[in-house]
Structure 1
Amino acid sequence: MPITYPRKIWIVRHAEREDNINKNWRRLEEAEDLARDNSMLSERGRQQAKECQQRFKNAQIDHCFASPFDRTIETASTIVEGKGLKVKAEGGLCEALYLCEQPPGFWETAELAEKFPLVDTAYFPEFSKFTLPREGCGDDACVSRVRQTLKKLFERHEGNLLLVGHGASIGACHEVLMGEFKYVGQATVSEFEETAPNCYRHKYSSDASHLSDKKNLRPW
């Protein structure tokens, strides 16, 4: 089916993660051999995700994609709950790889769906943990991978799209869509409009107007 323009592209950074506030989580992670860099949301993060849900309550979202980490999948699942949507776990939206060189072992969709029932088990990602490219150091090292991911997602999926990612991958989304790498706060919303194939209009970035507590959103 041909894609109709204009359409909205929303980009949300995951809400606050438990290890942002609980230093014991890292020690627990090491002691129990948990997946590296895969903290769940904090209590405040879950509240932020619910406030994101209210933000999008009346929005027409046709597809939702999220990096396959607990914090991104949980944020995305909360946002689309009740909308009749599934969350497509997309490895191309994960954090810069120098920050997560050992991606979670449960990126397999079936295992993700056991923890998060809204994960779409029929979705085949553009990048899995087995096909991620080698990347250098620096947050902007993921720009090429994110560029490839967005190109494929935008070509293959019609309607308004919601993407949930991380600080670096969302910075890379901004680089691809408006030519400027831009950091955003946790649980904030950025919006673009695709007016024609490969033509994007930047509407706003890092909007936190829906959050009841705007302190320390870690915009870096």
Structure 2
Amino acid sequence: MTITYPRKIWIVRHAEREDNVNRHWRKLDGADGLASDNSMLSARGKQQANECKNRFKNAQIAHCFASPFDRTIETASTIIEEKNLKVKAEGGLCEALYLCEKPPGFWETEQLAEKFLLVDTDYVPVYSRYTLPKEACGDDACVKRVGDTLRKLFEKFEGNLLLVGHGASIGACHEILMGDFKYVGQATVSEFEETAPGKYRCNFSSDSSHLSDKKI
């Protein structure tokens, strides 16, 4: 396979999650405390995801990858639903592991595909629930894992790529691609250009121009 340069790498943070606005979403789960960190999108989040879809309406996306949480898969599925694409559920793009209360029994591809019709059941992820590394506390502890993931995805898949992740994993993407860990807003878009193997340019970061409601 020959990868043609330059190419675009779009990175989107998931849209607003239900537990951002509904404190009662989490349910007690016996002795283990709160339920796992797997909220769906809120009503506002669904609108944001649709606005992301409109933004990418004419974009030529070759492959779409998303962290295997409901909020990221739903965001990605909405963006590509009118394109001839599937969402590749990639554990390497998940949140910093210290923030996941029970990572991640809900990551099985078959279970995701039952919930989200556009999940690619043939995709073999760089990191599955069984191969995630041990990570320390702190959002930047995921940098190595995210870096390994990006390197393997960029080497294996050609064309323009869309990645949907979380605050910490997208911060890690910024550190890897531009040398600066950066937090971005929900449903915002960052665009990088790979000009040659391993050479990247940031065209813009955390852009919210497509969102009708820009408040955080």
TM-score normalised according to structure 2 size: 0.97
- Matches of residues 192-211 of structure 1 in structure 2 within 5 Å? 192-211=192-211
Please report how far the alpha carbon of residue 75 of structure 1 lies from its aligned counterpart in structure 2 after TM superposition. Answer: 0.1
Counterpart secondary structure, 2:146: helix
Shift in alpha-carbon separation, 1:135–1:57, aligned structure 2, 3 A: same
8 Å Cα contact 1:35/1:105 also seen in 2: no
| Structure 2 letter corresponding to 1:75 | T
| Structure 2 letter corresponding to 1:139 | D
State the partner residue of 1:174: 174
CA distance in 2, matches of 1:133, 1:100: 14
8 Å Cα contact 1:8/1:161 also seen in 2: yes
8 Å Cα contact 1:29/1:36 also seen in 2: no
State the partner residue of 2:147: 147
Please report how far the alpha carbon of residue 203 of structure 1 lies from its aligned counterpart in structure 2 after TM superposition. Answer: 0.6
- Does 1:112 pair with 2:115? no
| Structure 1 letter corresponding to 2:191 | E
Counterpart secondary structure, 2:25: helix
- Does 1:90 pair with 2:126? no
Root mean square deviation, CA, Å:
1.2
Percent identity (aligned) = 79
State the partner residue of 1:189: 189
8 Å Cα contact 1:35/1:103 also seen in 2: no
How many residue pairs are counted as aligned between the two chains?
214
State the partner residue of 1:214: 214
CA distance in 2, matches of 1:99, 1:150: 21
8 Å Cα contact 2:94/2:169 also seen in 1: yes
8 Å Cα contact 2:37/2:101 also seen in 1: no
Q: Deviations over 1:40-84 (max 9, x none)?
A: 000000000000000000000000000000000000000000101
Counterpart secondary structure, 2:39: coil
Please report how far the alpha carbon of residue 98 of structure 1 lies from its aligned counterpart in structure 2 after TM superposition. Answer: 0.5
Shift in alpha-carbon separation, 1:111–1:34, aligned structure 2, 3 A: farther
CA distance in 2, matches of 1:34, 1:161: 35
TM-score normalised according to structure 1 size: 0.95
Please report how far the alpha carbon of residue 30 of structure 1 lies from its aligned counterpart in structure 2 after TM superposition. Answer: 3.6
What are structure 2's unaligned runs of at least 5 residues?
Answer: none
| Structure 2 letter corresponding to 1:66 | A
Structure 1's consecutive aligned runs of 4 or more residues displaced over 6 angstroms after TM superposition are: none
Shift in alpha-carbon separation, 1:170–1:198, aligned structure 2, 3 A: same
CA distance in 2, matches of 1:39, 1:101: 12
